[in-house]
């Protein structure tokens, strides 16, 4: 249902724009025309809306140099595998045990994986970002650093989807806040995943990934299931090596595009055992405290990469999940 013009205009005029730099007026005009033509938005309402949207310098700086590029693996690991995050993960699991069990039953994603993702993304909802989503998405869509056509199109599409989801869910477009890149809620969904896989997991009629842990849990599980999570397969394993590792075996992408039998034939073995048969795998190299560490990622590790396609992120989620699971079992 379309927002009524009266309510939409009132909500806009009640908001205060704290951003400073203006957006490119030509880009905004073209976008407004596109939304009116292709998605049945009112041009005057959108012009009023974008008169209160500005360019964020924080967004352009952070998109240009994200933490995954700035920090070494050890620095990155220390941020996301600190003791507080582990202990708070246990508390989050205890407080939401019923929802986590339900998510595992329906979607096949284990509790510790869901907990870990929410922990890495927002410290279990405590750090969700304070940037207005509309400002960040418009900044990235119209002023992406370096002018990358692919990334510009991606954020242009996110901006389209954001306005559509605000209309669908009756959200005030200027009220929602998130990360420097426009990721929202406890689970840091971008607009397209929100529309596709966010769920009302507790049945209260709302998809609330900001303050409702049950909806956040169900949405993470549905996202991973939608991206190909496999119930019966492991996630990752530390690798042991009996001979020097050929660099050509080391992966730089998120896909499990090698073969476990091939890795074994090269003297690379998983340090942990698992049930079932696994064929697809990828070998990763990270710099540890005393030299290189080698890890084997399986297809579920690749699925975590579809949440965020950065190797350091994927490894942080996987390692935090194992630490939380170990602590959880020790307390049972």
Q: What is the Cα 106 distance to its own chain's centre?
A: 21
Nearest CA to 194 out of 211, 176, 208 is that of 208
Integer Cα distance of 118 and 99 in angstroms: 14
Integer Cα distance of 330 and 230 in angstroms: 26
Q: What is the Cα 60 distance to its own chain's centre?
A: 19
Active site residue 121: yes
DSSP annotation of 180: T
DSSP annotation of 29: H
Integer Cα distance of 40 and 142 in angstroms: 21
**How many angstroms separate the Cα of 94 from the Cα of each of 66, 84, 99, 179, 188?**
33, 15, 10, 27, 22
**How many angstroms separate the Cα of 14 from the Cα of each of 7, 46, 218, 308?**
11, 15, 33, 35
Nearest CA to 272 out of 304, 235, 247, 246 is that of 235
Choice among 121, 269, 293, 323 that is catalytic: 121
Nearest CA to 210 out of 181, 180, 189 is that of 189
**Secondary-structure breakdown of the chain: helix, strand, coil percentages, each rounded to the nearest 5:** 55, 10, 35
Buried/exposed code over 168-178 (b: 16+ C-beta within 10 A; e: otherwise):
eeebbbbebbb
Give 8's contacts (C-beta < 8 A, 6+ positions apart).
45, 49
Which residues form the catalytic set? 121
């Amino acid at each position: 249902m379309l927002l009524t013009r009266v309510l939409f205009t009132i909500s806009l005029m009640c908001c205060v724009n704290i951003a400073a730099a203006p957006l490119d007026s030509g880009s905004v005009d073209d976008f407004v025309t596109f939304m009116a033509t292709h998605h049945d938005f009112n041009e005057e309402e959108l012009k009023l809306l974008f008169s209160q949207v500005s360019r964020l310098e924080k967004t352009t700086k952070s998109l240009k140099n994200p933490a995954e590029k700035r920090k070494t693996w050890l620095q990155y690991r220390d941020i996301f595998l600190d003791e507080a995050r582990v202990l708070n993960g246990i508390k989050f699991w205890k407080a939401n045990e019923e929802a986590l069990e339900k998510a595992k039953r329906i979607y096949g994603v284990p509790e510790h994986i869901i907990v870990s993702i929410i922990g890495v993304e927002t410290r279990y909802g405590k750090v969700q970002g304070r940037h207005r989503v509309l400002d960040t998405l418009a900044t990235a869509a119209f002023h992406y650093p370096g002018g990358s056509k692919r990334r510009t199109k991606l954020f242009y599409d996110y901006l389209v989807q954001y306005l559509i989801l605000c209309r669908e869910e009756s959200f005030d477009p200027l009220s929602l806040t998130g990360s420097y890149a426009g990721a929202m809620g406890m689970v840091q969904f971008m607009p397209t995943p929100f529309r596709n896989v966010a769920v009302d997991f507790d049945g209260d009629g709302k998809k609330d990934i900001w303050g409702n842990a049950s909806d956040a849990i169900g949405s993470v599980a549905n996202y991973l299931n939608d991206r190909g999570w496999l119930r019966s397969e492991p996630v990752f394993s530390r690798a042991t090596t009996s001979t020097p590792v050929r660099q050509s075996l080391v992966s730089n992408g998120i896909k499990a595009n090698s073969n476990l039998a091939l890795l074994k034939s090269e003297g690379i073995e998983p340090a942990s055992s698992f049930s079932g048969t696994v064929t697809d795998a990828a070998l990763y190299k990270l710099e540890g405290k005393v030299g290189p560490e080698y890890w084997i990622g399986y297809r579920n590790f690749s699925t975590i990469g579809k949440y965020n396609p950065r190797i350091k992120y994927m490894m942080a989620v996987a390692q935090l999940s194992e630490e939380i699971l170990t602590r959880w079992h020790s307390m049972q």
